[in-house]
């Protein structure tokens, strides 16, 4: 699923708004978000530390020029 290029004219309304877009239906998204929240709450109760962060933007990189496996690193995180 590729996003349109920034220099292309956007004709689809979903590419002209400021909403976050995901590849899940609402029911599945709600279920996953609930699971993430529950795991985060459990971690806080057990360790006293918040571990839930929202990652925005990712940098794709390779360990070596010969590597076929790409890695992703978050560019910005919000607790």
**For the segment 9-40, what is each residue's pLDDT rounded down to a tens digit?**
767 777 777 777 788 898 999 999 999 999 99
Contact 77, 56 (CB under 8 A): yes
Confidence of residue 2 (pLDDT cuts 50, 70, 90): low
The answer to whether residue 48 sits within a structural domain is yes
Sequence-separated (6 or more) residues with CB below 8 Å from residue 16: 10
Residue 43 resides in a domain: yes
Percent of the chain with pLDDT over 90: 49
**Residue 4, domain member (yes or no):** no
pLDDT at 47 over 80: yes
Range of the domain at 73: 13-78
Q: Is residue 18 part of a domain?
A: yes
Indicate whether 60 belongs to any domain: yes
- pTM: predicted TM-score of the whole model, two decimal places: 0.57
Q: Give me the number of domains the chain comprises.
A: 1
């Amino acid at each position: 699923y590729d996003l349109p290029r920034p220099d292309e004219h956007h004709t689809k309304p979903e590419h002209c708004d400021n909403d976050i877009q995901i590849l899940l239906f609402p029911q599945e998204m709600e279920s996953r978000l609930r699971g993430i929240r529950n795991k985060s709450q459990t971690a806080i109760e057990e360790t006293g530390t918040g571990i839930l962060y929202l990652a925005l933007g990712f940098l794709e990189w390779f360990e070596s020029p010969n590597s076929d496996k790409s890695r992703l690193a978050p560019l910005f995180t919000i607790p």
